[in-house]
Structure formats: C-alpha cells, structure tokens
Amino acid sequence: MLQSALMFLQAIAFLTCCKYVRPSCRITGKDISKFLSDGDEKFLEEACSSWNDYATQGHTGVIELFQAQDIWLCRLGSSRSLDCDISGIQGAARRDVKRSAYYKKCPKGPTLRKEIRSLTYSERRRFLKAVQKLKNTFVGNVSRYDIIARLHDPTIAPQAHFSAAFLPWHREYILRFENALKEIDCFVTLPYWDSTLDYALPDGRDSILWTDKYMGNGDGPVDSGPFSNWSIPEEVQNNVPIFSTQFRDILFRSTSESPGFFTPRSIDAIFEARRFRELVWPVNILFEAVHGRIHNWVGGHMRYLLSVAFDPVFWLHHAFVDCLWEEWREKFQEGDPEIDYVTEDGELHDSPNLADFARGDAHGLRNDYTEKYYKCAPRPTCSVKQPTCNSRYLFCDP
C-alpha cells in the first residue's frame, strides 16, 4: 500500500505539490460587482467554502490507483514537472514500437489550440472521437478519462482553486488531458471555448455549442451529441448534490437564460494587471471569479468542483482561461514571467530560489508550455474582409 501511495504521488507530483493555506471566501474587490451577479457571488462563496471543507477534512472520494494507472498518469506530464521514466506524448511515442510508423507522421513542435467553432469538420470530428475513446479506454478497470477527471479534487490538489496556484496548476492539468488525447490521435489538439462570443447572443443557450454537432444539449441530462448518456463514477455521484437522484449517474447540465460568460469588459479589467500577484485570488479575485461564472452558468456537474472535469466542456473552458493568461503574459506582464511568482498568502516572490512549497507551482510559470507544447490561436474576430470569423458558425453583427 505504501509503495502504491508513493507511486501515485510521483505520478501527480506537480499537481499535488503545495501545502494548503485556507483562503478567505469573501467576494470583495474593486468594482467586482460590475462583473458578477448576485447569483454568481453566492455560487463562488459556496464553492470556496465547500472546497475549504473538503481540503481540510477530507472525503470519501479520494482515488486509489494501480501501478499501471500511476505510470500512465506519469507519462502524460510535461517533462520538467516530475521524475518519470516516460514524459509526455513524445516519450510514449518513442516506446511504442508497433506504431512507430504512425508516430513518424505526427506533427512536430507546438500544436495550435483554436476556438472550437473555428475547427474544420475533420479537426472537430477527430477531437470529439478522441474524447469518446479516452472515456471508453481503460487502465485496469477505470476509464482513462475518469482517472484524469478525478484529480480535480480538493483532497488531492487543494491548491488548485482559490490560491495563487490556480492558473499554473490548471495549465499542467489540461496539458496532461491533451497528451492523453494525443496518445489516441496525435493530430488532435485541445480547442478552447471563447465564451465572449456567446455573451453576444440574446440567449447563450442558442449557441451551436449545445447541439449534436458539438457538446450535446445544455439543459437536463445530456442525451444528445457525442457525450450522450456519459457516465459519472459512483464515488463522484455520492459527493455531488445534483438536482435529482434520477440523473446522478449520467452527465447533467442546467444552462441558464441569464448570461454568465467572460465579456470584453471583464477581460479588459483582468488585463489591467501588470504582475502575476494581481491575477490571483489572495490579492485580486477577479480572474478566478469571472472564470467561475461559466461553471455556474453551465450548471449541473460543471457547477460542483468535485465533478466539473467529468463534463468535457470543462477542458474547453479552461483552455480558454489558459489562453487568456498567456495573452496577458505576452502583452501586459512586467518582469520575467518565469519568476514572477506569488506565495500562497499573496506575497510577491521574484527569486529563482523558491521555497519548497512554491517550487512545484512555479514550474507552471515556465515558458516551456507555449514554446514546446502548444500555442493559442488568436481569439476569433471579424471585419468587413472577414465577416465569418473563419467559421461557418460565427458571424459579425451587422
């Protein structure tokens, strides 16, 4: 048992690196009410309080992995995040002799993350099929998708939310998910969901995103599209108060008529920051709080932090959060982005000699991610010359 526990910690070393400092759950800050509704504020306070309670008291949903599952998780990580004999998709490819001819055709260098509605039909189809196959491929008796989704858990990674580690932790997390997809189809890249485009609709529920072509229906049990009747593990069901016990075992959404998205104004306000400390919950809750609006709007399993990653929409949303962070790093951040670190209590730390508790999450600030692994395509825009935003499903207002 001890050996298994040690292997598990190695497999998710970066994702579990830091001590937990209980954050304040008060929704305060300059002009924060301009970007959050009363419902958003209530949701965030409840989510923060619940996350705190689980992180400090523990719960029954903590997973135990077999050796094969540990090794698989380990090899998905970025090369500097852990000590593993296999790192990332490149390492996996080198050791897969039977499929070596296939991997020789794989793209080299960083892949490009696009807005999901900007994908070609072939790109979208390959992405959705890869996610489906990940769900239906097992290591031991556990779905590979579920293994990754379960890591979004306050007893495993308490620093993932309401802390200075929010952005770097999720950067590594979604990269591992993307690498898991690339093991299935190396031409797949994780797309992002630019929710500002849905904000412009009279009713965001009318978006093409909530149809069979993309993510399936957005209201009630998901019974259409590629994730129809998507199963939720029993231990997750037991810790998530979904509206009716009748639907606890399948993916559930409850999108709202009221808008709950990133907006151009909220992004402009986030981009006013100049140092990393101004983006993190202990100092300025704005970025993480506005990100939470989307979780609240999608509802269902996306509303509860213990189950959010079981809805594939989670990965698209966090890919957008990550791309916004990268856009800010490139355009607005002052100083060296690799060492502009913040400790858990919000103090600025700009020394390369980080304390033990900070060193792991500082890995998430490295430029390696967008130099070696992926880049973000610009957010879709339109003009007289480009009225369709390079997508048949996006258009300019007249």
Predicted confidence (pLDDT) per residue in 48-60, tens digit: 998 888 888 765 4
Domain ranges in the chain? 2-376
Burial 293-321 (b: 16+ CB within 10 A, else e): bbbbbbbbbbbbbbbbbbbbbbbbbbbbb
What per-residue confidence (pLDDT) applies to 5? 35
Say what the pLDDT of residue 397 is.
66
Tokens of 364: 């998430």
Burial of 171 (0-12, 13-18, 19+ CB in 10 A): buried
What is the rounded distance in angstroms from the CA atom of residue 215 to the CA atom of residue 229? 12
- Quick check: pTM over 0.85? yes
What is residue 17's predicted lDDT score, i.e. its pLDDT?
Answer: 52
State the pairing for strand pair 138-139/142-143: antiparallel
Please calculate the CA angle 140-143-148 and round it to the nearest 5 degrees: 110
pLDDT by residue for the chain (398 residues), tens only, comes to: 333 333 444 445 555 555 556 678 888 876 788 899 989 999 999 999 988 888 887 654 545 566 667 777 777 876 544 444 433 334 443 344 334 455 668 888 899 999 999 999 999 999 999 999 999 999 888 899 999 998 898 888 888 899 888 898 899 899 999 999 999 999 999 999 999 999 988 899 999 999 999 999 999 999 999 999 999 998 888 877 765 556 678 999 999 888 889 999 999 999 999 999 899 888 899 999 999 999 999 999 999 988 999 999 999 999 999 999 999 999 999 988 888 877 655 554 444 433 333 444 567 888 989 999 999 999 988 767 776 677 777 766 65
SS3 115: strand
pLDDT at 99: 46
Specify the CATH class of 2-376 in words: mainly alpha
Residue pair 51/20 in contact (Cβ under 8 Å)? The answer is no
The whole-angstrom separation of Cα 22 and Cα 53 is: 9
Question: Degrees (nearest 5) of the Cα angle 76, 280, 314?
Answer: 45
Contacts of 266 (CB under 8 A, 6+ apart): 35, 286, 290
